[in-house]
Structure 1
Amino acid sequence: MQRGVVRRRVVVRGVVQGVGFRWWCAQEADRTGVAGWVRNRLDGAVEVVVEGEQTQVDAMLAHLADGPRHARVTGVDVVAEPSQGLTAFEVEP
Protein backbone atom coordinates (compact mmCIF):
# COMPACT_ATOMS: atom_id res chain seq x y z
CA MET A 1 0.00 0.00 0.00
CA GLN A 2 1.31 3.46 -0.90
CA ARG A 3 1.49 6.01 1.88
CA GLY A 4 -1.29 8.60 1.68
CA VAL A 5 -3.15 6.73 -1.08
CA VAL A 6 -6.64 5.43 -0.42
CA ARG A 7 -8.81 3.09 -2.47
CA ARG A 8 -12.57 2.90 -2.68
CA ARG A 9 -14.78 0.41 -4.52
CA VAL A 10 -18.03 2.10 -5.49
CA VAL A 11 -21.28 0.71 -6.87
CA VAL A 12 -23.46 3.38 -8.46
CA ARG A 13 -27.14 2.51 -8.95
CA GLY A 14 -29.96 4.10 -10.92
CA VAL A 15 -30.12 5.01 -14.60
CA VAL A 16 -26.36 4.72 -15.10
CA GLN A 17 -25.94 2.45 -18.13
CA GLY A 18 -26.50 3.66 -21.68
CA VAL A 19 -26.01 7.31 -20.71
CA GLY A 20 -22.23 7.67 -21.20
CA PHE A 21 -21.49 7.13 -17.51
CA ARG A 22 -18.26 5.16 -17.99
CA TRP A 23 -16.74 7.69 -20.42
CA TRP A 24 -17.84 10.61 -18.23
CA CYS A 25 -16.30 8.78 -15.26
CA ALA A 26 -12.94 8.53 -17.07
CA GLN A 27 -13.02 12.29 -17.78
CA GLU A 28 -13.81 13.08 -14.14
CA ALA A 29 -11.04 10.73 -12.98
CA ASP A 30 -8.60 12.61 -15.20
CA ARG A 31 -9.81 15.97 -13.85
CA THR A 32 -9.54 14.86 -10.22
CA GLY A 33 -6.25 12.99 -10.70
CA VAL A 34 -7.35 9.56 -9.52
CA ALA A 35 -6.49 6.12 -10.89
CA GLY A 36 -8.71 3.06 -11.12
CA TRP A 37 -11.31 1.61 -13.43
CA VAL A 38 -15.02 1.62 -14.26
CA ARG A 39 -17.27 -1.09 -15.69
CA ASN A 40 -20.93 -1.93 -16.20
CA ARG A 41 -22.39 -4.66 -14.04
CA LEU A 42 -24.96 -7.23 -15.13
CA ASP A 43 -27.44 -5.91 -12.53
CA GLY A 44 -27.60 -2.49 -14.28
CA ALA A 45 -25.27 -0.72 -11.87
CA VAL A 46 -21.83 0.71 -12.60
CA GLU A 47 -18.82 -0.38 -10.53
CA VAL A 48 -15.90 1.99 -10.03
CA VAL A 49 -12.57 1.58 -8.26
CA VAL A 50 -10.82 4.82 -7.36
CA GLU A 51 -7.32 5.30 -5.91
CA GLY A 52 -5.57 8.52 -4.98
CA GLU A 53 -5.00 11.02 -2.22
CA GLN A 54 -7.95 11.31 0.18
CA THR A 55 -9.03 14.74 -1.14
CA GLN A 56 -8.92 13.51 -4.74
CA VAL A 57 -10.93 10.39 -3.92
CA ASP A 58 -13.47 12.44 -1.96
CA ALA A 59 -13.91 14.76 -4.96
CA MET A 60 -14.42 11.79 -7.28
CA LEU A 61 -16.97 10.24 -4.91
CA ALA A 62 -18.93 13.51 -4.95
CA HIS A 63 -18.92 13.46 -8.77
CA LEU A 64 -20.10 9.84 -8.80
CA ALA A 65 -23.03 10.70 -6.52
CA ASP A 66 -24.22 13.25 -9.12
CA GLY A 67 -23.31 11.42 -12.33
CA PRO A 68 -23.37 12.87 -15.84
CA ARG A 69 -26.25 14.94 -17.20
CA HIS A 70 -28.34 12.07 -18.59
CA ALA A 71 -27.86 9.71 -15.63
CA ARG A 72 -30.11 9.47 -12.60
CA VAL A 73 -28.14 8.22 -9.61
CA THR A 74 -30.35 6.68 -6.93
CA GLY A 75 -27.71 5.09 -4.72
CA VAL A 76 -23.98 4.89 -4.13
CA ASP A 77 -22.33 2.15 -2.06
CA VAL A 78 -18.71 2.78 -1.03
CA VAL A 79 -16.31 0.24 0.47
CA ALA A 80 -12.73 0.99 1.56
CA GLU A 81 -10.04 -1.36 0.27
CA PRO A 82 -6.23 -1.47 0.50
CA SER A 83 -4.61 0.50 -2.32
CA GLN A 84 -2.91 -1.48 -5.08
CA GLY A 85 -0.72 1.21 -6.60
CA LEU A 86 -2.82 1.84 -9.70
CA THR A 87 -1.41 4.56 -11.96
CA ALA A 88 -4.04 4.97 -14.69
CA PHE A 89 -7.81 5.02 -15.07
CA GLU A 90 -9.36 2.47 -17.43
CA VAL A 91 -12.80 2.01 -18.93
CA GLU A 92 -13.60 -1.70 -18.98
CA PRO A 93 -16.22 -3.22 -21.28
Structure 2
Amino acid sequence: MQGVGFRWWTRARALEIGVLGYASNLDDGRVQVVAEGPREYCERLLELLRTAPDTPGQVVGVADLWGEPRGGYDGFAIR
Protein backbone atom coordinates (compact mmCIF):
# COMPACT_ATOMS: atom_id res chain seq x y z
CA MET A 1 0.00 0.00 0.00
CA GLN A 2 2.91 2.32 -0.32
CA GLY A 3 2.27 5.76 -1.75
CA VAL A 4 -1.46 6.02 -1.03
CA GLY A 5 -1.49 7.68 2.41
CA PHE A 6 -2.36 4.62 4.46
CA ARG A 7 0.32 5.26 7.08
CA TRP A 8 -0.90 8.84 7.54
CA TRP A 9 -4.50 7.66 7.79
CA THR A 10 -3.45 5.09 10.39
CA ARG A 11 -1.52 7.72 12.34
CA ALA A 12 -4.54 10.03 12.43
CA ARG A 13 -6.80 7.23 13.71
CA ALA A 14 -4.22 6.15 16.32
CA LEU A 15 -3.90 9.71 17.63
CA GLU A 16 -7.69 10.07 17.81
CA ILE A 17 -7.93 6.84 19.80
CA GLY A 18 -4.93 7.58 22.00
CA VAL A 19 -2.43 4.84 21.18
CA LEU A 20 1.32 5.21 20.71
CA GLY A 21 3.55 3.49 18.17
CA TYR A 22 4.31 3.70 14.47
CA ALA A 23 3.35 2.70 10.94
CA SER A 24 6.07 1.79 8.46
CA ASN A 25 6.34 0.50 4.91
CA LEU A 26 7.88 -2.94 4.47
CA ASP A 27 9.99 -3.83 1.44
CA ASP A 28 7.28 -6.15 0.06
CA GLY A 29 4.62 -3.41 -0.05
CA ARG A 30 2.88 -4.26 3.21
CA VAL A 31 2.52 -1.80 6.07
CA GLN A 32 3.54 -2.71 9.61
CA VAL A 33 1.62 -1.02 12.42
CA VAL A 34 2.88 -1.23 16.00
CA ALA A 35 0.53 0.20 18.60
CA GLU A 36 0.70 0.41 22.39
CA GLY A 37 -1.95 1.54 24.80
CA PRO A 38 -4.89 0.17 26.71
CA ARG A 39 -6.09 -3.06 25.13
CA GLU A 40 -9.51 -1.64 24.26
CA TYR A 41 -7.83 1.24 22.39
CA CYS A 42 -5.62 -1.14 20.43
CA GLU A 43 -8.63 -3.31 19.63
CA ARG A 44 -10.44 -0.22 18.32
CA LEU A 45 -7.52 0.59 16.02
CA LEU A 46 -7.46 -3.00 14.76
CA GLU A 47 -11.19 -2.83 14.06
CA LEU A 48 -10.73 0.35 12.05
CA LEU A 49 -7.84 -1.17 10.09
CA ARG A 50 -10.07 -4.13 9.23
CA THR A 51 -13.37 -2.42 8.47
CA ALA A 52 -13.15 1.34 7.93
CA PRO A 53 -14.57 2.22 4.51
CA ASP A 54 -12.40 5.33 4.13
CA THR A 55 -8.89 3.80 4.31
CA PRO A 56 -6.60 4.90 1.49
CA GLY A 57 -5.68 1.95 -0.70
CA GLN A 58 -7.10 -1.52 -0.28
CA VAL A 59 -6.71 -3.54 2.90
CA VAL A 60 -6.67 -7.23 2.02
CA GLY A 61 -5.75 -8.58 5.42
CA VAL A 62 -4.81 -7.61 8.95
CA ALA A 63 -2.77 -9.91 11.18
CA ASP A 64 -2.48 -9.09 14.84
CA LEU A 65 0.16 -10.16 17.34
CA TRP A 66 -0.23 -9.25 21.00
CA GLY A 67 2.68 -8.87 23.40
CA GLU A 68 3.82 -7.07 26.50
CA PRO A 69 4.19 -3.30 26.06
CA ARG A 70 7.82 -2.25 25.64
CA GLY A 71 7.35 1.49 25.91
CA GLY A 72 9.65 4.04 24.38
CA TYR A 73 7.11 5.56 21.98
CA ASP A 74 6.43 9.28 21.97
CA GLY A 75 3.25 9.76 19.97
CA PHE A 76 2.55 7.83 16.79
CA ALA A 77 5.26 8.02 14.12
CA ILE A 78 5.47 7.45 10.41
CA ARG A 79 8.60 5.49 9.52
> Could you say whether these structures have the same fold, taking a TM-score greater than 0.5 normalized by the shorter chain as the test?
yes
**Structure 2 residue runs without a partner (length 5+):** none
Q: Answer 1 or 2: which has greater helix percent.
A: 2
Q: Answer 1 or 2: which has greater strand percent.
A: 1
The match for 2:26 is: 41
**Structure 1 residue runs without a partner (length 5+):** 1-15
Instruction: Tell whether 2:9 aligns with 1:53.
Output: no
Secondary structure at the aligned position of 1:43 is classed as coil
| Counterparts of 1:66 and 1:18, CA distance in 2 | 20
Instruction: Tell whether 2:5 aligns with 1:20.
Output: yes
Q: Is the 8 A contact 2:4 2:56 kept in 1?
A: yes
CA RMSD of aligned residues (A): 1.4
Q: Is the 8 A contact 2:10 2:23 kept in 1?
A: yes
Identity of aligned residues (%): 35
Which TM-score applies when normalising by structure 2? 0.87
The match for 2:59 is: 73
**Relative contact order higher in (CA < 8 Å, ≥ 6 apart):** 1
Q: How many pairs were matched up?
A: 77
> 1:69 offset after TM fit, Å?
3.6
Which TM-score applies when normalising by structure 1? 0.75
Instruction: Tell whether 2:20 aligns with 1:32.
Output: no
Give 4+ residue runs of structure 1 displaced > 4 Å after superposition.
Answer: none
Residue 91 of structure 1 aligns with an amino acid whose one-letter code is: I
| Counterparts of 2:14 and 2:51, CA distance in 1 | 14
> 1:91 offset after TM fit, Å?
0.6
